[in-house]
């Protein structure tokens, strides 16, 4: 062991908030500034047990790569321009939920929210496992702080009668070792949805299901450039196994805090 390197894992990712939001047309810059300069911090980052947060954006050319066109996550492929992710310390999910529910209501009561936007998909997820390209690469806990230039989200569902553990086994033992090796994809983090238990009325309630999964692929390069080789045919590959289906896949670009970058490229 290298001198000074700790062996414990006191800081450990346990769950996450994943939220896709669509600003109303004509309010893109205003929304982006409100979110990154106020809500990113006042809504989540100031909360106890929040490890990290990050934001990504889907430009019109990102949306053109999405599939399927009609899906249960965003409704249509062209809907949902921003995604925010927040890491929560393992074992502190209930504490974080209590804070988050009370905090968002306080923000509403004090005029700190932004009406010209639509919640597309907002859900809590339990982190389950990670697959990594490098033996000693970026750990899951630091994925958002590392500021990867791109993210690919793949939502999926185990087929009827299939044990979700069999889907996990296929990904971890067969698909991901080959898919990540020598690629510009640093890791794949797997999570399972949990019910959103409380919150304001403008956030649609989502149900948790052990059959559903979310995979987060953090990329070292622009995900649009590696889409054709690494993700375009993923739905077909999974379906051929008979284990499950991809319900929604999308590339995202990391936002550039303090700027209005990409706000003119959403549609």
| Residue pLDDT, tens place only, 81-110 | 999 999 999 999 999 999 999 999 999 999
Domain that holds residue 250: 13-254
Residue 184 resides in a domain:
yes
Residue 5 resides in a domain:
no
Alpha helices in 35-92 (DSSP H): 60-63
Number of domains in the chain: 1
Beta strand 150-158 with 75-76: parallel, antiparallel or unpaired? unpaired
The pTM of the whole model exceeds 0.75? yes
Measured distance CA(155)–CA(89) in Å, rounded: 23
171 DSSP 8-state letter: I
Domain with residue 57: its CATH number is 3.30.70.100
Residue 189 · residue 216 · CB < 8 Å: yes
Measured distance CA(79)–CA(266) in Å, rounded: 10
Residue 262 resides in a domain:
no
Share of the chain above pLDDT 90, in %: 90
pLDDT at 250 over 80: yes
Residue 8 resides in a domain:
no
Closest by Cα among 265, 267, 266, 262 to 36: 262
Mean pLDDT of all residues belonging to the chain: 94
Residue 264 resides in a domain:
no
| pLDDT, tens only, 147-204 | 999 999 999 999 999 999 999 999 999 999 999 999 999 999 999 999 755 555 555 5
pLDDT at 139 over 60: yes
pLDDT at 234 over 60: yes
Q: Name the region of 91 (left: φ>0; alpha: ψ -120 to 50; beta: rest).
A: left
Residue 35 resides in a domain:
yes
Residue 263 resides in a domain:
no
User: Sign of the C-alpha dihedral, residues 261, 264, 265, 267?
Assistant: positive
Residue 246 resides in a domain:
yes
């Amino acid at each position: 062991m290298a001198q000074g390197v700790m062996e414990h894992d006191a800081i450990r990712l346990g769950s996450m908030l994943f939220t896709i939001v669509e600003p109303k047309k004509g309010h893109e810059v205003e929304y982006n500034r409100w979110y990154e300069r106020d809500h990113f911090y006042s809504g989540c980052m100031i909360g106890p047990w929040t490890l990290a947060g990050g934001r990504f954006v889907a430009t019109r050319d990102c949306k053109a790569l999405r599939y399927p066109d009609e899906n249960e996550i965003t409704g249509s492929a062209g809907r949902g321009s921003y995604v925010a992710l927040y890491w929560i310390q393992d074992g502190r999910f209930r504490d974080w939920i209590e804070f988050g529910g009370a905090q968002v209501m306080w923000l509403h009561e004090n005029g700190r929210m932004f009406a010209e936007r639509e919640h597309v998909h907002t859900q809590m997820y339990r982190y389950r496992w990670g697959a990594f390209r490098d033996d000693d690469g970026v750990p899951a806990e630091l994925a958002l702080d590392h500021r990867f230039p791109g993210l690919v989200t793949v939502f999926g569902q185990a087929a009827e009668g299939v044990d979700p553990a069999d889907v996990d086994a296929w990904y971890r033992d067969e698909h991901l070792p080959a898919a990540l090796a020598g690629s510009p994809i640093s890791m794949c983090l797997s999570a399972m949805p949990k019910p959103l238990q409380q919150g304001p009325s403008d956030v649609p309630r989502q149900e948790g299901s052990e059959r559903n999964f979310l995979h987060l692929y953090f990329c070292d390069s622009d995900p649009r450039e590696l889409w054709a080789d690494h993700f375009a045919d993923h739905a077909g590959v999974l379906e051929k196994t008979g284990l499950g289906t991809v319900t929604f896949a999308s590339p995202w670009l990391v936002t550039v805090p303090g700027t209005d970058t990409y706000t003119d490229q959403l549609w």
